[in-house]
Amino acid sequence: MQHELLGAGSLGAVALLAAALGLAGCADTAIVHYSYYNSAYTPGHVDLAAASGQSLAVIRDNPFPEDVDNRGVVAAMQGRNFGPKMYFAQVQRPDDKYGYKVILDFGSKGGSYDECMRPPSPPAHTPAKGEISVFAVFCVGNLLLTDALGSISGASGPDDPRFQRLIGDIMVALTPPYLPDRDHHCFMRAC
């Protein structure tokens, strides 16, 4: 049996190959952007939403036609936030005092800031073709608290780990464990 030891040049080639494989894995990375500019959000909203029971999940333009009733997308949202875990249903509870909701709009490339005021629409499905983008908002009633925009490519369904990671990252971006505007003070001047 013959054993070879890797020389310095061979180690460099192995390191280069490992780096290339690592970069290739980045193609499946979920990309998430968020903005909290002048947000009314505080981590207390997550505490209250979690304590008050299931919040409303509004799913627009689900990219997976086989997920006819949006249950797969809603399942991907369950308990994926920072802080006390939030859970969701697609029907608003009659005893809901606060009106917390998360809206996932897959048909939008950036959405609008009146998403919280739009009434829920009947489920529509836009088959996924390569990249899946979602604009998400966390609201209390008609008040926008936080928003996030994310995308992933190659997800085959709501159970796909890449899609699960995208929705998890979106939920984390919507529920930061800090005050988003803490370093931005307007006081008497225009913001």
Q: Could you write out the DSSP letters of every residue in 135-148?
A: EEEEEETTEEEEEE
Residue 157 in domain: yes
Q: What is the pTM of this model?
A: 0.76
Q: How far apart are CA 67 and CA 7, in angstroms?
A: 53
68 within domain boundaries: yes
CB 45 within 8 A of CB 140: yes
For the cut 70, the answer to whether the pLDDT of residue 189 exceeds it is: no
Q: Is residue 30 part of a domain?
A: no
Number of domains in the chain: 1
Whole-number pLDDT of residue 190 = 41
The pLDDT of residue 39 is: 75
Separation CA 35–CA 54 (nearest Å): 25
Q: What SS3 state is found at 164? A: helix
**Would you state the pLDDT for residue 181?**
57
| Residue written as token pair 């995208």 | 166
Please report the pLDDT score of residue 160 as a whole number. Answer: 95
pLDDT of 118: 81
Return the closest-CA partner of residue 56 out of 34, 72, 77, 33: 77
**What does the pLDDT look like over 16-62, one tens digit per residue?**
223 333 333 445 666 787 766 667 888 899 999 999 999 999 999 99
Report pLDDT for 114: 79
- Report whether 131 contacts 15 (CB < 8 A): no
Domain that holds residue 74: 41-174
Residue 147 belongs to some domain of the structure? yes
pLDDT, mean of residues 155-184: 86
pLDDT in tens, 86-139: 999 999 999 999 999 999 999 776 666 678 888 766 666 666 667 899 999 999
pLDDT at 178: 80
Is 186 a residue whose pLDDT tops 90? Answer: no
Cα 70 from Cα 28, distance rounded (Å): 23
Q: Are 107 and 60 in contact (CB under 8 A)?
A: yes
Q: How far apart are CA 91 and CA 56, in angstroms?
A: 6
Residue 32 located in a structural domain: no
Quick check: 150 and 134 in contact, CB under 8 A? yes
Q: Which residues contact 154 (CB under 8 A, 6 or more apart)?
A: 27, 28, 130, 162
- Quote the pLDDT of residue 126: 63
The answer to the question of residue 143 being in a domain is yes
